[in-house]
Amino acid sequence: MTFKATSRLMQGDEACAEGAIAAGCTFFAGYPITPATEIAEVLARRLPQVGGKFIQMEDEIGSMAAVIGGAVGGAKAMTATSGPGLSLMQENIGYAAMAEIPCVIANVQRLGPSTGRPTSPSQGDVMQARWGTHGDHPIIALAPASVREAFDLTIKAFNFSERYRTPVILLMDEVTGHMRERVELPDYDTVERVERPKTTVPPEWYKPYENFPVDVPPLVPFGEGYRYHITGLHHDERGYPTNRPDEIRPWLERVFRKIDSSLSDILLYEQDGVEEAETLVIAYGVTARSARYAVEMARGRGRKVGFLKLQTLWPFAEEVVDHLADRLHRIIVPELNLGQLALEVERVAGRHKVHRINRADGEMIRPAEILAAIEEQESVR
């Protein structure tokens, strides 16, 4: 079913599901959980219309395992969950990282820990997205701030996962997931879709984890005549378990290098008025909406304030923040947690320059709170 450019009133979760369809997703496995359930509900209806498959699993552990299986079978695959479900998925996210399986995990964050308040917003899973699973591995995590960005960044998430053979986490939040906005969606036929490269070698020469000559070797779907092994253990170039450091080290270096060497493609952010700024506000997700409004109000009062909205949270935009921090007097980081991404900003810019604005009580950070922090920081200069 083809969808042409149209203007629609959409919920963020619905936009995420439509972004998956536009990106070419053909497989979803998940377990319903507030506030992510609408993603599953929409895809249960939409996937059969495009020849895809929807499976409701018994839990989040099985959901992530099914997504890995669907991806290995050649499908663009995803799941959707919220904080407690993301916790249950962590072991298999680590498996996907080790086996270099492309897949997308949409996490619509809610207030926690534990069950918390399922219908209240939070940005409390930022560090879980990066460090939730065990071991050393890179991860890509994107954070939309609007309904249209939920659509666009879902497509980006799929494209990154396929281009770099890696799991990608879409860090939404309850507000962006449940609010409705009028959006202009593109003709789906015009959307950029990254497809997996095909191997050019015969089956007997194929190595799914070859370290050279490219950092992202082709992944041939099961069932196409290419015999290879997939394991959660460290493996050699053919996928078979190994304990040899001379085989483990090149794999580990390649897995990190394929992300680190592509930061110009992966790091998504928006800068506004940073050239002449004395104060910089760094925000992401739904909090970026309050931050932008506060910055505009501050400028109206004559303040020299810049705004940096991060759409890619992981990898962290370290060089961008470092470059800006050199000439700034102060950096304000509002977020709906008790200071998670602020830790990264402080690591790069120094704690003395960073002022945190934190809420973890289920309420939004209001523009007035950020404006007050801007003016307070200006007054102590």
**Rounded CA gap, 1 and 289, in Å?**
34
Taking a C-beta distance cutoff of 8 angstroms, is the pair 71, 103 a contact? Answer: yes
Q: What is the predicted pLDDT for the residue at 376?
A: 86
- The yes-or-no verdict on residue 94 having pLDDT over 60 is yes
What are the backbone dihedrals phi and psi of residue 21, each rounded to the nearest 5 degrees, phi first?
Answer: -60, -45
- Cβ atoms of 215 and 165 within 8 Å: the answer is no
Tokens of 338: 């008790």
Q: What is the pTM of this model?
A: 0.96
Percent of the chain with pLDDT over 70: 98
Contact 199, 226 (CB under 8 A): yes
- Per-residue pLDDT, 264: 98
What pLDDT is recorded for position 381? 55
| Banded model confidence at residue 3, pLDDT cuts 50, 70, 90 | low
CB count in 10 Å sphere of residue 149: 25
- Both tokens of residue 47? 């996937």
Roughly how many angstroms between the first and final C-alpha of the chain, as a whole number?
Answer: 59
Which segment of 2-11, 58-67, 178-187 scores lowest on mean pLDDT?
2-11
* Per-residue pLDDT at 58: 97
CA atoms within 13 A on the CB side of 77: 27
CA–CA gap between residue 146 and residue 294 (Å, rounded)? 17
Residue-averaged pLDDT of the chain: 96
Of 114, 247, 122, the C-alpha closest to 172 is: 122
Q: Rounded to an integer, what distance in angstroms lies between the CA atom of residue 342 and that of residue 381?
A: 21
Query: Which domains does the chain carry?
Result: 6-190 (3.40.50.970), 269-379 (3.40.50.920)
Q: What is the pLDDT of residues 197-215, one digit of tens each?
A: 899 999 999 999 999 999 9
Band of the pLDDT at 6, cuts 50, 70, 90?
Answer: confident
Task: Name, in order, each residue with C-beta under 8 angstroms of 241's C-beta and a sequence gap of 6 or more.
Answer: 231, 233, 234, 235
- The Cα 45–Cα 346 span in angstroms is 45
Return the pLDDT at 2. Answer: 52
10 Å CB burial of residue 348 (0-12, 13-18, 19+) is: buried
